[in-house]
Structure 1
């Protein structure tokens, strides 16, 4: 598969992530990760496994986050793993931007589906203040 086809597949999962996020469906979001997936959020410890990933995202919703926009900048194919570099914007229910920055996701193919395996992001907010 060419990079453009792969990028299309990754972006399709990103759209599902955005949809689950806007629906505040933390369990749906966690299902997009591998069983042993990890979040590496800024200023926090590593979050491992789907149950803890769901709890992390539920906490984000409870803090008032309402939507996420993901933009793929680059996809690098490594066979059964793929690296995505991108930008994100997080917003609240009033449509205000709460955070934005960059991310890297290491994707892993599981049973023919691309799943987020390692998810790390960095905020640009502190750099602007």
Structure 2
């Protein structure tokens, strides 16, 4: 796949991830990750593995009152079955709107699906 094709796949994945978050479908959110994925949330321990990531999103979403995530790719590099995405996120929380920046390492698995393998983010000031 060329970079433009991967960009489209990742954009659709990001939309679907946000839709799963809005539905509070934490199993669905976790399914976007590889089995051995790692999530590196701000000010928290590393979360390893799909099941732990599911529990992380359930707990974080409930604690923050998360109702919506909109992810936008800012930069994307593709090297074979690996893609590096830098992006910005707009989140709707119980306390209001928040912004974050993120870096995701995507892997194309044997079934041809692109999944999040490493996911790290932190907040950024509202514009």
TM-score by length of 2: 0.92
1:24-70 CA distance string (max 9 Å, x none): 11110000000001100010110000111000100122121111010
Which aligned runs of 4 or more in structure 1 are off by greater than 4 angstroms?
A: none
Partner-residue secondary structure (3-state), 2:67: strand
Where does residue 14 of structure 1 map in the other structure?
A: 14
Partner of 1:65: 66
Q: Which blocks of at least 5 consecutive residues in structure 1 are unaligned?
A: none
How far apart are 1:2 and its partner, in Å?
A: 2.4
Aligned to 2:82: 81
What are the residue-to-residue correspondences of 1:1-129 with 2, within 5 Å? 1-63=1-63, 64-92=65-93, 96-97=96-97, 99-110=98-109, 111-125=111-125
Whole-angstrom distance in 2 between the partners of 1:60 and 1:101: 15
Secondary structure of 1:65 counterpart? coil
Deviations 1:66-112 (A, max 9, x none): 11010111110011110001001111268x30x21210000001120
Task: Give unmatched runs, 5+ long, in structure 2.
Answer: none
RMSD across aligned C-alpha pairs, in angstroms? Answer: 1.4
- Count, aligned residues: 124
Whole-angstrom CA distance in 2 between matches of 1:35 and 1:57? 15
Q: TM-score, normalised by structure 1?
A: 0.91
Q: CA separation in 1, counterparts of 2:8 and 2:75? A: 11
